[in-house]
């Protein structure tokens, strides 16, 4: 019996081709409904999903007889009931490496958008207004950038920003091997969180959302920031206390923010109020939305599934 994989969300074809070349039978149903999925899931050895497909316990139980693995092409696993998967012996993996470059480049793009007021300049020009005098920008070179969360994305941001001649402070909980080399290459210096917060002109956040990082930037942390500092968040909305951020952006404690992620997406209530502020540049969670990141996610998902099938002697 051939190994069968069902892809239930839109996926770059590269990964699907890799699976087929290795002898896997691949079915691509990117618009499959929850009911249809529940009806057919039992026929597959593995699923490839993105964020759209919700794999709750009842769906996983329907597939438990045959399903051995789920690969999330991308990062977030919040659409998968991980406890149920573990109990049912279904392996779950993702491809977090795929979007590193895309998110790092977006974080830097957002910094530059704020520094040169690009969204405002563009909006005004389209309305026939020539705001040359009003749009006095500032340069990233020479500014201190604080990177909170110095993993894949944070380190890539440091590499780009070192070329922009920024001074870089970085904070993370652990000091894994290899870190010294990154610090040497980027000129970044590790700093305790409080020092980073107090000394940075721009703070960019790259931690995962966990119980420890939830609201790690709140009223207290914002009060320690330089007057007129700037926050960039491309990690997860919940890392910042949005109420405290809204207050600080309204009363001028913070000069501006750029946000790709919100506590509520699409934003409503406070999240939407934040996105609408004139000193906020907001994007709709597009960190990983590049052609290259999508292609890498698809390829890496296929590679991980093939490794899994081979390790289990299925291929």
Smallest gap from residue 64 Cβ to ligand NAD (A): 29
Smallest gap from residue 264 Cβ to ligand NAD (A): 15
How many other C-beta atoms can be found within 10 angstroms of the C-beta atom of residue 218? 16
Q: For residues 45-82, b (16+ Cβ closer than 10 Å) or e, as one string?
A: bbbbbbbebebeeebbbebbeebbbbbbbbbbbebbbe
* Phi-psi domain of 23 (left: phi exceeds 0; alpha: psi -120 through 50; beta: other): left
Based on the shown chain and the rule CB under 6 A, indicate whether residue 173 belongs to the binding site for ligand NAD.
yes
- Which residues 211-230 are close enough to bind ligand NAD by CB under 6 A? 212-213
* 265 given a catalytic annotation: yes
Based on the shown chain and the rule CB under 6 A, indicate whether residue 197 belongs to the binding site for ligand NAD.
no
For 144, list phi and psi in degrees, rounded to 5.
-95, 125
* Catalytic hit among 72, 172, 236, 242: 236
Based on the shown chain and the rule CB under 6 A, indicate whether residue 119 belongs to the binding site for ligand NAD.
no
Based on the shown chain and the rule CB under 6 A, indicate whether residue 105 belongs to the binding site for ligand NAD.
no
Based on the shown chain and the rule CB under 6 A, indicate whether residue 251 belongs to the binding site for ligand NAD.
no
Based on the shown chain and the rule CB under 6 A, indicate whether residue 44 belongs to the binding site for ligand NAD.
no
* 285 given a catalytic annotation: yes
Based on the shown chain and the rule CB under 6 A, indicate whether residue 75 belongs to the binding site for ligand NAD.
yes
Based on the shown chain and the rule CB under 6 A, indicate whether residue 238 belongs to the binding site for ligand NAD.
no
Based on the shown chain and the rule CB under 6 A, indicate whether residue 267 belongs to the binding site for ligand NAD.
no
Residues carrying an active site annotation: 236, 265, 285
Q: Tell me which residues touch ligand NAD (CB under 6 A).
A: 75, 96, 99-100, 103, 149-154, 172-174, 206-210, 212-213, 234-236, 260-261, 285, 287-288
């Amino acid at each position: 019996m051939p190994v069968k994989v069902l892809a239930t969300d839109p996926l770059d074809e590269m990964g699907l081709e890799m699976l087929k070349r290795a002898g896997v039978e691949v079915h691509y149903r990117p618009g499959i409904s929850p009911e249809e999925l529940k009806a057919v899931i039992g026929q597959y050895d593995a699923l490839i999903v993105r964020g759209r497909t919700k794999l709750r316990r009842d769906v996983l139980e329907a597939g438990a007889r045959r399903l051995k693995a789920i690969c999330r092409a991308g990062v977030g696993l919040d659409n998968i009931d991980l406890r149920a998967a573990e109990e049912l012996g279904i392996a779950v993996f993702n491809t977090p490496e795929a979007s590193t470059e895309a998110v790092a480049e977006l974080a830097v793009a957002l910094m530059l958008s704020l520094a040169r007021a690009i969204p405002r300049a563009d909006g005004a020009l389209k309305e026939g207004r020539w705001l040359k005098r009003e749009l006095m920008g500032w340069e990233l070179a020479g500014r201190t950038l604080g990177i909170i969360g110095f993993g894949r994305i944070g380190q890539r941001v440091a590499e780009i920003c070192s070329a922009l001649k920024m001074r870089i402070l970085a904070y993370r909980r652990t000091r894994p091997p290899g870190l010294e080399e990154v610090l040497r290459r980027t000129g970044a210096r590790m700093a305790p969180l409080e020092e980073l917060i107090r000394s940075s002109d721009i703070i960019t956040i790259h931690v995962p959302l966990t119980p420890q990082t939830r609201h790690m930037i709140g009223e207290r942390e914002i009060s320690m920031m330089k007057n007129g500092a700037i926050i960039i968040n491309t990690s997860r909305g919940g890392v910042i206390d949005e109420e405290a951020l809204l207050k600080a952006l309204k009363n001028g404690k913070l000069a501006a923010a750029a946000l790709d992620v919100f506590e509520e997406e699409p934003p409503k209530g406070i999240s939407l109020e934040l996105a609408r502020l004139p000193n906020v540049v907001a994007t709709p969670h597009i960190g990983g939305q590049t052609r290259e990141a999508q292609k890498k996610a698809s390829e890496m998902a296929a590679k991980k599934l093939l490794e899994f099938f081979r390790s289990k002697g299925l291929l």
